[in-house]
Structure formats: structure tokens, C-alpha cells
Amino acid sequence: MTVLYVLRLLLLGLIDALGIVALVSLWSGEQWAVFAILTFGLIITNIIMLFQQAYPLRYIFPGLLFFAAFVVYPMFYTVYLSFTNLSAGHLLAKEQVIAQLQGKVVSIPNAPRLDFWAYGNQEGVPVNLLLRDGEGSYYLIHIEDQSLNPIDAQDQRLVDQDGDSVFDSFNNLTLLEGRDLLRQMSTFENLVFPFGEDVVKVASRNTFTTAKRQFQYDAQTDKLLELYRFNQSTNTWDSQETPLTYEADGAQGFFVDGAGEVLTPGWQVWVGLDNYLNIFRNPRILTPFMGVFGWTITFALVSVLLTFALGLFLAILLNDENLRFSKFYRGLLILPWAIPAFISIMVWRGLINPVGPANMGIPWFTDPFWAKTGLIMLNLWLGFPYMMTISLGSLQGIPSELYEAAYVDGASHWKQFWKITFPLLLVSMGPLLVGSFAFNFNNFNVIFLFTAGGPPIPEAQTPAGATDILISYTYQVAFNGGWGQQYGFASAITIGIFLLVATISAINFKFTGALEEAGKD
């Protein structure tokens, strides 16, 4: 047994140990998809490391594993989310929603109070609470287990050293008083424990109080009963003789009453193609979406055409052998590309903001036309050095004999450009132009940092702006929705963007082949 083999076994043991710890956590959290992927990965890792026949896989498996974890899994998970109603109001499972709604409690006037004392460890962290009701009965709360149980005052773990009827310690835990107790009050405020038919919660720094549950769930009928409702005229919670009933609506993922009122939060449900169809069924979604889609195509196309035109123009000038200081000009013109884009974007924004030195009284960020114009100008500034650089390289690859022959034939400079320069440039630059279009199609940074998608489109149901492109629109829907983050709907839009970019890539491959054939001819 070689030293290398022993080290490999030790490394495999460490990977398995970490993997098992992660699997236990995933199992307890019911993260079944990630659990299955990790289990499969660990099994394959052990096979590859232990069996000589699987030796070649050792070189490609790590890459495949990361590819599956960071590309394949997110892609399939996004597809899955696009068929659900996952949003800020539908993040939980139905069981969690029921538990949360049943956990809502209401305070009752003149409710019985219970004295309480907190006992903590040496670091001052509370571990147990001791409650005493008006009849002198004691109850012990274990904070970590979230449990409340009766305890005898004669329990040997309770120690009253000075005989003042206040136990100074419990089970070697110290009584928290003064500042130590005040520091922990925020922890106590979140504690609610069943207490007979009622519950108890903290009322002050020295007392707990009994409270009533606002809702009660009936598992047989799958309904929630609202036992108490707030009366605004009296500013109190009134008991309902005939509780209002909320039925579980599996299509919406809400508990809904007869009048259509819903209880929040809701739960995640399968909605099928609704997210995709909502784009076309709802005019308040379709109209801004089509505007965003149209501007995305326009922004990407105009950006590519302008940057290519300016870059090629400058490249032709710099490619002139008779031009003096050409290297200096090249270095100067490439500076916008050398400076990090986010710095250039923020500088531009500072220059043309309402109080900026280059504003000139133009509403760059409040008028849709000027906001779009500013974006095109900014993207031209950021993109022309790249086009200039690749154009220079392509121009220098064109044989000079072609121009000499054209000159002999009497072709003008303009005709030489259209008959020789431009066609040959497209052979090498055509795929790069298509790639540049795909890049600008998803150019999130320039939109987000410069205009943040604004100005907003009036009466749009989704958070759409006049300068939003599809990727920034998706971000706004996912994280800045008016009613809440709409992850399912944003996932549906993401799938649409993926299909569009895939189509552009397919065209790129076909275009590349066509240009290569043209070059051969």
C-alpha cells in the first residue's frame, strides 16, 4: 500500500464525512432534490476513487460534478419554479402556513398574569424559564425544546438560598437579573407556549400573560376558523360566536373566505402554464412586456451597429501606414475599454444627473426618449474600443495584393471598401457581431447601474421601466415586485430569455458556417 493510496483514502474519508454531515442537514430540512444530487455525487466519487477500472473518470468527474451543480441543477430548478406560484406571499409549504396562522395569538383584557424568572448559563444565555401562576403553581419552560411542563416547587434542582421565595438557581443555572435579563427580552418576546386551551407569552420584564389563538385549523374539513377578530371601534379582540371560515384553495395557495378575502401568507402550489399565459392574457402585463421586449431588441441591435461602425471607422484610420503617432492614438482610444465598466457607468451617471456638469437641462432619467438615448451613448462609449481592436486585427489580415489589384483596375477607395474590406471583415467578425448582440441582449450591468430600468411605465402591473431590457425586467419582477417578489413569474420570463439566446446562438453557428463557405469561395 503506497503513501499516495493512503492519502487518497484519507481524502475520500474526509469528503465522505463532510458529505454525510451535509446529507443529514438536507434530510432534516427536507431538501430532497439537493439530497439526491449529493448522494449520487458521493456514490460516484467513491466508485471512481476505489476502483481502478474507473481511473479515467477522475479527470473529468470534478468538472462534470460542478457543471451539474451550478448549471444543470439551476436550469432544471428554474424550469420547475416557472410552473409554480412561488413568490413573497407563497414561500412556505401548506403545513408551515397552517402552523404560522395557528401561532397567531391575541391579547385578552384582564387576562391572568404569571410571574417568570429566567435562568442562564455562564455566558448569560437563557436556557430555562420558570413561571408561577396566581395559585402558586410552577411551570418550567425549556427554551431550546420549546416545551412547557409543570414542576414541583420542592424539586431539588430549584435552590432558594436566601429564603425569599425566589429561586436563585435551577439545575446549576444562574438567575438572570438586571441588565442580563433586559438583554434577553427580545428573545422572550418571540416565545409562545400552549397553556391548556390558551397560550402564554411575555407581557413585561417580570410577567407572562395568557392569550387566545386567533385561528383554529380543522384537519377533517381542511378549513381555518377565525375565533377572534379585531374590533376597530372598541380597539379590542372580540370572540366570534360563529367563527368565520376560510377554506383551503389549492389553485391559489391561499385560505379564502366566502367573500374572497384571503389569509396571508399562502403556500406554494403547481400552477401549470399560468405564468407563461399571464404574459399574454393580462393587458397590464402584456403591454409593458412587449415594450420591454421591443426595446431589448432595439438596444442590442443599435448598440452593435453603432459600436461596430465607429470601431471600424477608427480602425481604418489607425490602419493607415502614413498616420503619425498611431500608437499613441490607439492607446488613447482603448482607455474606455481598460477602465472597469461599472466605474465608467457611475461617472457618466454623475456627469448627466440633474445637478451634473454635463446635464445641459436634459431630463436624462425622467424622460423615456432621453433615458434610452443616454444608454445608447454610454454603451457606444463602452463598446467601440472592443470593435476597434478586433477590426484592426481583421484589417491587418487582409492581403495588400487585393487592394493593389483593385487600384490597377481603377476601383475607388469607397468601392474597395464595399467589395474587398467589408466582405472579408464579415468572415472573421460576423460571429463576433452576433456574440456582441447576445451580450447586449443580456447586458444587465449598464441598465441597472445607469437608469435602474427607469423611468417607470405607467399603469404597468409588473415593475417595468422604459429602459428595462428583459434581464433587468426579470430582476425587477423577481426582487422588486409591487405585491412581492414573484419568483415563479420571473422564472417563466427567464426560460423565455434562455430560448431567445439559444436561438441567437444557433443562428451564430449557422452564420459562422455560411461565412466560412463564403470565404472559401
Q: Which of 195, 206, 203 is nearest to 140 (CA)?
A: 195
Cβ partners under 8 Å of residue 124, min gap 6: 176, 180, 183, 184
List helix spans (H) across 29-146.
32-50, 57-67, 73-81, 94-102
Residue 110 CA: distances (Å) to CA of 53, 114, 198, 200: 77, 12, 14, 14
The predicted pLDDT at position 516 comes to: 54
- For the stretch 111-163, pLDDT in tens is 889 999 999 998 888 999 999 998 899 999 998 888 899 999 999 999 998 88
* Alpha carbon 476 to chain centroid, angstroms: 10
State the Cα–Cα distance between residues 208 and 191, nearest whole angstrom.
10
Farthest CA pair distance, the chain = 118
Under 8 Å between Cβ of 205 and 216:
no
Residues 464 and 284: their CA atoms lie apart, in Å, by 10
- As to burial, measured by CB atoms within 10 angstroms (0-12 exposed, 13-18 middle, 19+ buried), residue 164 is exposed
pTM, entire model = 0.75
Q: Could you tell me if residue 509 is inside a domain?
A: yes
Burial 59-81 (b: 16+ CB within 10 A, else e): eebeeeeeeeeeeeeeeeebeeb
- What does residue 126 show for φ and ψ, rounded to 5 degrees? -65, 135
Asked if the structure places residue 114 within a domain, the reply is: yes
165 and 308 housed in the same domain: no
Same structural domain, 74 and 116: no
Cell of 279: 404574459
pLDDT at 518: 47
C-alpha cell read off for 254: 391561499
Residue located via cell numbers 474606455? 336
Which residues contact residue 86 at a Cβ distance below 8 angstroms, ignoring those fewer than 6 apart? 268, 487, 488, 491
Examine the domain organization and report whether 76 and 110 are in the same domain. Answer: no
Look at residue 391 in the predicted model and tell me its pLDDT.
Answer: 92
Residues 194 and 319 both lie in one domain: no
Co-location of 491 and 372 in the same domain: yes
**For the CA atoms of 407, 411, 413, 414, what is the dihedral angle to 10 degrees?**
-160
Print the domain residue range for 67: 3-81
**Assigned domain for 161 exists:** yes
Do 420 and 499 lie in one domain? The reply is yes
Same domain, 385 and 469: yes
Q: Are residues 190 and 313 in the same domain?
A: no
C-alpha cell at 339: 477602465
Which of 164, 196, 215 is at the close of a domain?
215
**Are 253 and 266 a contacting pair, CB within 8 Å?**
yes
Q: In what order do the strands lie in the sheet with 236-249?
A: 215-218, 223-231, 236-249, 254-256, 262-263
What is the C-alpha separation between 285 and 478, in angstroms, rounded?
Answer: 14
Tell whether omega for the bond before 455 is within 30 degrees of 0, i.e. cis: yes
Only one residue has cell 391579547, namely 107
Nearest-angstrom CA–CA distance, 477 and 450: 19
Question: Rounded to whole angstroms, what are the CA distances from 209 to 14, 149, 165, 270?
Answer: 51, 16, 21, 41
pLDDT of res. 517: 54
Domain assignment of residue 77, yes or no: yes
Positions of the chain with pLDDT under 50: 518
Distance separating alpha carbons of residues 207 and 132, to the nearest angstrom = 9
Cβ 73 vs Cβ 195: under 8 Å: no
CA distance 73 to 78: 8
Together in a domain, 302 and 448: yes
Residue 220 covered by a domain: no
Beta bridge partners of 246: 224
pLDDT at 482: 54
Measure CA of the first residue to CA of the last residue in the chain; give whole Å: 63
Which of 215, 230, 257 is the last residue in one of the domains? 215
User: How many other C-beta atoms are found inside a 10 Å radius of the C-beta of residue 415?
Assistant: 12
Distance CA 243, CA 214 (A): 10
133 and 151 Cβ atoms separated by less than 8 Å: no
Position 98 in a domain: no
Please check whether residues 126 and 58 belong to one and the same domain: no
Give every CB contact of residue 373 below 8 A, 6+ residues apart in sequence. none
Closest Cα to residue 336, out of 388, 301, 394? 388
Do 370 and 299 share a domain, yes or no?
yes
Residue 452: how many CB atoms within 10 A of its CB?
A: 18
Q: How many domains does the chain have?
A: 3
Question: What DSSP element (H or E) covers 336?
Answer: helix 335-338
- CA 54 to each of CA 48, 58, 60, 61, 154: distance values in angstroms, whole numbers, following the listed order: 5, 7, 11, 10, 67
Phi, psi of 247 (to 5 degrees): -95, 145
Peptide bond into 109 cis (omega under 30): no
CATH number of the domain that residue 480 is part of: 1.10.3720.10
In a domain, 232, yes or no: no
| CATH number of the domain to which 71 belongs | 1.20.58.370
C-alpha cell at 374: 443616454
Residue 485's alpha-carbon distances to 84, 339, 430, 445, 490, in angstroms, are: 13, 34, 40, 20, 9
Question: Is 221 part of a structural domain of the chain?
Answer: no
DSSP codes, 221-261: TTEEEEEEEEETTTTEEEEEEEEEEEEEETTTTEEE-TTS-
- Domain shared by 132 and 208, yes or no: yes
Q: Which of 139, 245, 154 is nearest to 198 (CA)?
A: 139
Domain boundary among 30, 46, 81: 81
